[in-house]
Amino acid sequence: MKINYNGSTIEIKDNLTLHSFVLELQLESRTIAAAVNEQIVPKKNWEKFYLQEGMTVDIFNLVAGG
């Protein structure tokens, strides 16, 4: 199935959760945030949030500063 990830169309497995997607990308989940279709998905929901065909997923690195 195809989704839009950070501005590019990519192919992913069916029945993939947001959590599994982040793991497959080998991203450090402690330092990122994810939005699906322009809505932030809380990390506590990632394991239950299934990606679907055509969704737009944006992943952001969190940066601390002053």
What pLDDT band is residue 66 in, cutting at 50, 70 and 90?
Answer: low
Instruction: Please report the pLDDT score of residue 65 as a whole number.
Output: 72
Residue 13 domain-assigned (yes or no): yes
26: in domain: yes
CATH of the domain at 56: 3.10.20.30
Strand runs labelled E in 6-48: 8-11, 32-36, 39-40
Sign of the dihedral defined by the CA atoms of residues 30, 40, 59, 65, in that order: negative
Specify the pLDDT at position 62. 80
Domain that holds residue 49: 2-61
* Domain total of the chain: 1
pLDDT digits (tens, 9 = 90+) for 32-47: 999 999 999 999 999 9
Stretch 42-65: mean pLDDT:
94
| Residue in 15, 18, 16 with CA at minimum distance from that of residue 37 | 18
Mean pLDDT of all residues in the chain? 94
Q: Indicate if the pLDDT at residue 18 is higher than 70.
A: yes
